[in-house]
Amino acid sequence: MRTMLRKVFLALLTISLSIGAFFAVRQWQLVRTPPDRVALDYARAVYARDYAAAWEYVSAEDRQVKSRQAYLAENTSFTGLKQELAHTLASWIQFTETQIQVEDGRATVTTRVKVPNGNQQEVSEILRAAGEEGEPTAAGRPALLDRLEAMYAAGQIEILEGEQTFELVRERNGWRVVMDWTNAVVVTLTAEVSPDLPWEFYPLQEEIRALPGETLTAVYRATNRSNETITGKAKHLFLPEEHKEYFTLIQCFCFIQQTLAPGESVDLTLLFYVDEAIPAGVRQVENKYVFYSLGSFPQE
């Protein structure tokens, strides 16, 4: 019995040491990864809209400003096969003519970036097929991947080029990307309901820190508290109004009317970005909606 217990103990110890060695090697690899490679891996994760992976490259200082939960709520990730295809496209991103400047634990990576055009019609159709309701069967999945890879091998995927600069900081676990969320534009999300509309309406997140040029998602929730079906429409207000031109609604529930059955709740999505031309001194804006019944909606 003692001999058997000793063998079991030694086996478990061996497994434990192997696992520990694996993570030690992985940690060493992360610490040794040069800043340009970290920037490339981050860029690929963002391109693939795998924001859970992208979060791992965000600096500790930025994580103090914006939580992982908020980051993932503001950035909608692809899932399933669509994300797998996007990762395949992302693997073809290349950095060329890269220059790295390192000083006092910080690095600036300036590079020429080559990126597959995900908006190219043929590529977009493949991604759309992967994301449609009722994903392709097990037999259909490799067909989409093979089609994408065949297009790339034949040089049929357009490659876009541009210059990009990344700021990184050296941390205990390696280089991390500086987002600078401390200096981002704080977008306060507010909501009101007109007195004649018996709805509850509020944002799921009260504020979003938006970097100029960054496309982000916000979600509002509306609930019909009455005993009858009601149709309403939201009016969008941006404050201060003189900076409205720097705030762009890409997709907004305010564009169409909403009909809710008694007690029904619905999450309403807003997709927006703050223009890069916004004056440097503007660091706080308000994105406001007022929900009206159709009969009381302002006619302007």
Q: For 220-262, what is each residue's pLDDT tens digit?
A: 999 999 999 999 999 999 999 899 999 999 999 999 999 999 9
Rounded to whole angstroms, the Cα distance separating 234 from 250 reads: 16
Q: Is the per-residue pLDDT at 136 higher than 60?
A: no
The confidence band for 128, taking pLDDT boundaries of 50, 70 and 90, is confident
pLDDT in tens, 30-43: 557 999 999 999 99
pLDDT in tens, 146-170: 899 999 999 999 999 999 999 999 9
Is 285 buried (19+), middle (13-18) or exposed (0-12) by CB count in 10 A? buried
**How long, in residues, is the chain?**
300
Please report the pLDDT score of residue 295 as a whole number: 85
The owner of tokens 């909403």 is 258
Please report the pLDDT score of residue 139 as a whole number: 52
Please report the pLDDT score of residue 138 as a whole number: 52
Rounded to whole angstroms, the Cα distance separating 153 from 137 reads: 25
Q: Is the per-residue pLDDT at 85 higher than 50?
A: yes
- Is 35-180 in CATH node 3.40.1350? no
Q: Where are the domains of the chain?
A: 35-180, 184-294
Q: Is the per-residue pLDDT at 134 higher than 70?
A: no
Same fold for the domain at 35-180 and the one at 184-294? no
Q: Is the per-residue pLDDT at 7 higher than 80?
A: no
Percent of the chain whose pLDDT exceeds 70: 86
Rounded to whole angstroms, the Cα distance separating 276 from 296 reads: 36
Fold of 184-294: Ctag/Cox11 (Pfam 04442) (2.60.370)
Rounded to whole angstroms, the Cα distance separating 11 from 5 reads: 10
